[in-house]
Structures are given as structure tokens and as C-alpha cells.
Amino acid sequence: MTLGVRLLRPPEAEAVARLQSLLDPGVRLTLGAEPGPPGGDDILVAGRPGREDLAASPALRALVVPWAGISQETRSLVAEFPQIAVHNLHHNAAPVAEMAAALLLAAAKLVVPMDRSLRAGDWTPRYRPSPAVLLDGKTVLILGYGAIGRRAAAICRGLGMVVLATRRRPPHSAEPDNPDQVFPPEALPKLLTRAAALLICLPHTPETDGLIGRAELAALPAGAVLVNVGRGQIVDEAALYQALRDGQLHAAGLDVWYNYPAGEDARKHTPPSAYPFHELDNVVMSPHRAGSTREIETLRMAHLAALLNAAARGEPMPNRVDLKAGY
């Protein structure tokens, strides 16, 4: 039996060729939006499909979003097609976790201002009391213990940190596959008081919007470090700026923001926030690039092939999205 798969907006030819080389013989790949062969497609691979794309094939039973998130527009649209299951890819888990660790270390050690000083020939930071925070033996709280959060947890354990985490569906046991202490989201208020570092790996949903506000930041121990590789809107923008400006937080590493360029022309002159985070020495700023590496398309094609091959073999497709929860 042949599995019909359509890539609505195919990547570069090299990536398509790699995908083809990894697919089982029973997978028929079609590129672009043109009508497919008789019988239609079983699976559509598209990040932001239109209604016409979902309605084009009566046989369509699954939509694969080729990245880790799913937009509210897509969630609302797919809700009109209850026969179509939605899956996504977690191919970016390793690079995002690595960036989370990089931001954590750079923020804790205040690497950016020291780098800036030495570039100007100024060695005085070397001869002052060090403001760097020791992470070994400290507790990190990871919000979102999914593919990214678990990898980030492993890195933090390697740094000698104690890992606490929240997850919508906590595992039944902490051993051996889950060596960390994992709690339901309702435990957040008590967990915050224990966290010398807060690492946010959550998706943005109605439930996580504004999850970390003024009260939550105040609950953290003085001098905590915050890292956000989830979405900006999970943390209250004004409260975060004020906590950093006033020294309530030691530092933050931020890959996700509150204001993005409206188009290509605005890419060189769009501030990422209404607040001047760029004026603060205790902020490490990254332009939402945590999931991007030279190897990202190779990873994406490998994960997509594994998902499609599972479907072709009659096995359960991984990474099913809970549309109600948003991830």
C-alpha cells in the first residue's frame, strides 16, 4: 500500500533529495500545491495550510507541521476538520537546549559586559570582585519537560545542578528514565522559591500566556537567573525588565521577544521590546535563533522521514498535537 505525502512548500532541492533517500519505498512524495494523483494525499506537510489545502484531498488524515509549534490560526482551522490529526516535529530539541545552556552560562557569568570591556582594552573587570554566579549545586527549575526541556535538564545535571521541572502530564516515576523531580504545573508557586535559575521551554498557549508575572518573579530567590527559549509572552514584559533593571534578578538570557519585524524592510530597525533591555548589562540578547544551526535542515528531514515511515508501516505517528492544549 502506498502512502501519499504532499510537501506544500518544499525546501531546497538538496533537502528534498535527502528526505527521499530516507523514506521507505511505500511513501509517494509530491511537491507543491498542484492537484495530486487520483485518490489524493494521505498526509499533508505544511506549516500554515489554508482551508483549500486541507479540503483538497478527501483521503487526508494527517497534517504534519514541520516545526515544533503550531499557530493559533492553524489550530482553529484544523478544528473544522476533525478527521485530520495534527503532528509536528521536534528536530530542534538539541540546538534549542544547547542555546538554553549557552544563555544560562553567559547570563550567570555576565560574559557579554566582560567581553565588551576587553574589546575596548579595559582589563579592570579582572581586578574587581567577580559578579559571576556559581551554578554547581544550585537548583534550576525547567518549565516544560518535553523534548527540549529534558535535553536542557541533562545539560544542567552535567553542570552539577539539581533539576526541578513542570510538565502537564508528569511521569509516574523519577527513575530510571526521569532522574529529575517533575511536578504538575499547579506546583509552580512553591517551586519558584527554590529556583536559583528559571529556564522556560514552554509553548505559548492561553494557559501559559503571562504565566510568569511580577508575583512569580518576586517569588524567585534574590539574584536568580532567568532564561527564556519558549515564547516572550510567557513572561510579563514590564515585570521582567523592572526585575532586571532593579537587580532583583541577577541576569537573563532571552532568545524570544515581544516585538518582531513586520516585514523584510523592518529587519534592521525593529526593537525587540517596548522596554530598553539593550541598555542593561545583565541581559544576553538573541534574535530568536535558538533552533537554527547549519545542520537544522538535515535534522528536520531525518525527523520527518522517521514520522512518515512510521505511518507507512502502520505504526503510530509520533508527536501528536493536542489541539485543545495547543501542543
In a domain, 256, yes or no: yes
In a domain, 322, yes or no: no
CATH number at residue 63: 3.40.50.720
Report yes or no: 326 and 206 within 8 Å, Cβ to Cβ. yes
Indicate whether 308 and 274 sit together in one domain.
no
Nearest to 36 by CA among 12, 78, 5: 5
Indicate whether 187 and 201 sit together in one domain.
yes
Give the per-residue pLDDT at 173. 53
Count of structural domains, the chain = 2
For residue 170, how many other CB atoms are within 10 A of its CB?
17
In a domain, 155, yes or no: yes
Nearest to 4 by CA among 54, 39, 46, 33: 39
Give the per-residue pLDDT at 175. 47
**3-class SS at 200?**
strand
Report yes or no: 181 and 165 within 8 Å, Cβ to Cβ. yes
In a domain, 188, yes or no: yes
pLDDT in tens, the chain (327 residues): 789 999 999 999 999 999 999 999 999 999 998 766 666 799 999 999 999 999 988 899 999 999 988 888 999 999 999 999 999 999 999 999 999 999 999 999 999 999 999 999 999 999 999 999 999 999 999 999 999 999 999 999 999 999 999 998 776 554 456 789 999 999 999 999 999 999 999 999 989 999 999 999 999 999 999 999 999 999 999 999 999 999 999 999 999 999 999 999 999 999 999 999 999 999 999 999 999 999 999 999 999 999 999 999 999 999 999 888 777
Structure-block grid coordinates of residue 285: 540578547
Indicate whether 81 and 97 sit together in one domain.
no
In a domain, 239, yes or no: yes
Indicate whether 55 and 198 sit together in one domain.
no
In a domain, 23, yes or no: yes
Indicate whether 258 and 271 sit together in one domain.
yes
Indicate whether 180 and 102 sit together in one domain.
yes
In a domain, 326, yes or no: no
Please report which helix (H) or strand (E) contains residue 78, including its range.
helix 72-78
Indicate whether 88 and 167 sit together in one domain.
no
Indicate whether 239 and 121 sit together in one domain.
yes
In angstroms, the CA 156 to CA 100 distance is: 10
Domain limits for position 53 = 3-92+295-312
- Tell me the residue length of the chain: 327
Report yes or no: 66 and 8 within 8 Å, Cβ to Cβ. no
Give the per-residue pLDDT at 71. 85
Indicate whether 86 and 229 sit together in one domain.
no
| The pTM of the whole model exceeds 0.85 | yes
In a domain, 319, yes or no: no
Give the per-residue pLDDT at 33. 85
Indicate whether 229 and 114 sit together in one domain.
yes
Structure-block grid coordinates of residue 205: 498557549
Indicate whether 221 and 251 sit together in one domain.
yes
Give the per-residue pLDDT at 125. 95
For residue 35, how many other CB atoms are within 10 A of its CB?
12
